[in-house]
A = this chain, B = another copy of it.
Amino acid sequence: MSAFPLSDLTSELRVPAGPIDLSAIDTNAAPGFDGDKKDGEAALLDLGPDLADLQERLFADGKAGGRRTILLVLQGMDTSGKGGTLRSTVGLVDPQGVRITSFKAPTPEERAHDFLWRITKALPPVGLIGVFDRSHYEDVLIARVRELAPPKEIERRYGAINAWEAELAAEGTTVIKCMLHISAAEQKERLLARLDDDTKHWKYNPGDVDERELWPAYQEAYEIAIERTNTDVAPWHVIPADKKWYRNLAIGTLLHDALSAFDLGWPKADFDVAHERQRLTDEKPLG
């Protein structure tokens, strides 16, 4: 177990009901954690074995007929660290137990269906941790800012998302929604750092700067989306993400707490253990 009590962190990050003002949330803070970068990195490493154990229990539960899954939804502006979170935090557990989906602009086939069609197809099988790098929320974020759908359709989607997530929750999925919250200044620094490093040019897309120029519209779209879809069964968390170590620790802790809440033991044998041992110890020479 971690030397730092992390229980405060999850509740600190949970967005309360009602309107949300993102500009009032310090992107450089470390709410619920009383330590520096070194402490935070150590605390995440400390979480690793626990996370791996809890993930394996979930996997075992799925094999034994359980219906539980985790769905971790990562949203945030470009460079907010969705990829880094996957590497540093999701990378702490067995890759067999994780199903990662990165959503890009929808294909023509995907656009021909309801916006939740491709999302539903990407849901994790029982026993797995599903991670969405971007998600159905793009359909009320970029779709709203760029007017990719009529206002009435955008409006409809908030309710459709709530109904869809409620159904998931009822089926045994714990939905953890996270907005990785960086400042515009931090994004600028990260984009410039990509430009300054030849080995990072492939990560840079001039289109990201076009989106950046719409920063206030995106912040507003996030505020609306978070307020409208911040339900008890699928709550939102805003993660201050200027500090990469805090972002990683925060997501790791949310994952840990969600897995712990399943309170899973190990599946009981559905066979006669003594008989199986006998079969092996008494076996005739093979062949």
Using a CB–CB distance below 8 Å, which chain A residues touch chain B?
Answer: 60, 63-64, 83, 86-87, 90-91, 94-96, 98, 100, 102, 133, 184, 188, 191-192, 195, 198-199, 201-204, 206, 209, 212-213, 215-216, 266-269, 271, 273, 276-277, 279-281, 283, 286-287
State the 8 A-B residue pairs at the shortest beta-carbon distance, nearest first: A216-B287, A201-B269, A215-B286, A202-B267, A60-B202, A199-B266, A87-B94, A95-B95
Interface pair B209/A280, CB less than 8 Å apart = yes
Chain B residues whose C-beta falls within 8 Å of the C-beta of A192 in the assembled complex:
277, 280-281
Question: Once the chains bind, are A94 and B96 in contact (CB under 8 Å)?
Answer: no
Q: Which residues of B contact A64 (CB under 8 A)?
A: 202
In contact, A91 and B95 (Cβ under 8 angstroms): yes
- A215 in contact with B287 (CB, 8 Å): yes
Chain B residues in 8 Å Cβ range of A267:
201-202
**Stoichiometry (number of copies):** 2
Q: A216-B287, A286-B213 given as contacts; is B201 within 8 A of A268 (CB)? A: yes
Contact B266 A201 (CB under 8 A): yes
In the complex, what residues of B have CB within 8 A of residue A198's CB?
266
Structural contact, A83 and B60, CB atoms closer than 8 A? no
Chain B CB within 10 Å — which of A90, A95, A102, A279 has the most? A95
Contact among B86, B195, B279, B287 with A277 in the assembled complex (CB-CB below 8 Å): B195
With A and B bound together, what is the CA distance between A196 and B256 in angstroms?
28
B95/A271 in contact, CB under 8 A: no
Q: Can you list 11 A-B contacts (CB < 8 A)?
A: A87-B95, A90-B95, A91-B95, A95-B98, A95-B100, A195-B273, A195-B277, A202-B266, A209-B279, A212-B283, A215-B286
Distance A72 CA – B221 CA, assembled complex (angstroms): 43
Contact (Cβ within 8 A) A206 B287: no
A83 to chain B, nearest CB (A): 6
Nearest CB of chain B from residue A252's CB, rounded to whole Å: 14
For A286, what are the chain B residues with a Cβ–Cβ distance below 8 Å? 184, 212-213, 215-216
Min CB distance A17 to B, Å, is 27
Taking a contact as CB atoms under 8 Å apart, the answer to whether B96 and A102 are in contact is yes
In the assembled complex, which residues on chain B have CB atoms less than 8 Å from the CB atom of A188? Answer: 280, 283
The CA-CA distance from A91 to B98 in the complex, in Å, is 11
Chain B residues, Cβ within 8 Å of A86: 94-96
Question: Knowing A202-B266, A286-B215 touch, does A94 contact B91 (C-beta < 8 A)?
Answer: yes
